[in-house]
Amino acid sequence: MESKYPLRVCVDARPLLHKGGITRYTYEMISALAKIPEVSLVLIAHKDFPVPENLPIIKVVDTRFSFLPGTLWFLWRAPTLAKKHRCQILWGTQHTLPLKTSRLFSLVTWHDVVWKKAPSSMRMVNRLLNTLLASMSVRQAKRILCVSHTTEEDLIRYYPNAKGKTTVIYEGKSLPDTTSATCPYTFPFLFTLGSLEPRKNILALLKVFEKLVLFPGYEEYRLVITGPQGWKNHHVFRYLDNSALREKVILTGYLSDEDLIAYFKACRLFIFPSLYEGFGLPLLEAEGKAPVVANDIPVFRELEKVFENLWLCDFSHAPEKIASFLTTLIEKNPSPLTFRKGKELSWEKAGKAFVKTLGEIS
């Protein structure tokens, strides 16, 4: 493709309609890229969506076809809208690219391969969609942006034709270390962040916490869970209802960024027991604010090279054993998770790596 600057990129902005990790990724990457002169962004979606303020962004809402399901709308309309707005590049922000992209250079961000690694943790319709569309998107992509080396390896394992197309770009830190907000709790608590769905492994954490409060000196502890209700979570509520934990477990729903910072700074430990992650954005959100214990899974072992004070624990072990480990760690008054020297992750750095990738293919 002939190199012309600024490169105009048509962006799948549909994640901005929701909340969650991919929403954060898309918003922050757009914000970083919009500040780089070599890039011009055209954001498209089938419904109105929020955009970062005071940045040179073209926003396109295709309301005429908003009746279509989001994925179908993107597959059908994205090439036409990209051509209409004179874009050279089409960027699929969430695993998906259209079957035909004309002369566009197509990039796609790959966050995970959860439908392969943990299919039972997904809704059936989402699992089927990803299964059907992943091969097509890999085939269409000129470049695949993976959020970790673990995700890159998993992708190539399941889709060998992705080999040679992948680039790893780590996500960035969004939340500052300080806030004017205050946490409302005066009692000691453990904190976790994630939707109530099977992959986040909240039930295992509840069983650990049930044992932890039996230790002398830990009777007043609480477990605070922040995030959406998710799905297939009846087992979590059934467990709570049938145990003595109910008054010791607090479900906050979503928190604002300001409140989230306050909770991180007030907790004794941030616990991330997830069974599978493509990256693990909550680690970046906790950085500089809280001690972190994460499940001993491949991506977190990878991120040990990035972070100091990242404690790994196998949440498949007996709850009593994990609870004992947590109490021992708390007694040591561990330091907050921090970046290793020279390993700091930022969205500015991610944006520059994105532009470098565009330069390689232009």
**Whether the bond into 6 is cis, omega within 30 of 0:** yes
249-253/338-339 β-pairing = unpaired
Between 4-8, 17-21, 71-75, 336-340, the lowest mean confidence (pLDDT) is in: 4-8
Q: How far apart are CA 283 and CA 21, in angstroms?
A: 12
CA distances from 329 to 67, 149, 221, 238, 268 (A): 52, 29, 15, 30, 10
pLDDT grade, residue 219 (50/70/90)?
very high
Residue 108 pLDDT more than 50?
yes
Question: How would you list the strands of the sheet with 89-92, edge to edge?
Answer: 57-61, 39-45, 7-12, 89-92, 105-110, 143-146, 166-168
Residue pLDDT, tens place only, 64-107: 888 999 999 999 999 999 999 999 999 999 999 998 876 889 99
Residue 42 pLDDT more than 60?
yes
What local confidence, expressed as pLDDT, does residue 2 receive?
42
Q: How far apart are CA 221 and CA 212, in angstroms?
A: 9
Q: How far apart are CA 197 and CA 199, in angstroms?
A: 6
| Helix boundaries (H) for 41-123 | 70-84, 114-117
Name the superfamily (CATH) of residues 7-172+346-361.
Answer: Glycogen Phosphorylase B; (3.40.50.2000)
DSSP string spanning 237-305?
Answer: HHHHHTSTTGGGEEEEE---HHHHHHHHHH-SEEEE--S--SS-HHHHHHTTTS-EEEE--HHHHHHTT
CATH 3.40.50.2000 location in the chain: 7-172+346-361, 189-339
User: Domain 189-339 falls in which CATH fold?
Assistant: Rossmann fold (3.40.50)
Within its chain, how far is the Cα of 71 from the centroid? 19
User: Which residue carries 């500040």 as its tokens?
Assistant: 35
Between 140-154, 215-229, 337-351, the lowest mean confidence (pLDDT) is in: 215-229
Residue 307 pLDDT more than 90?
yes
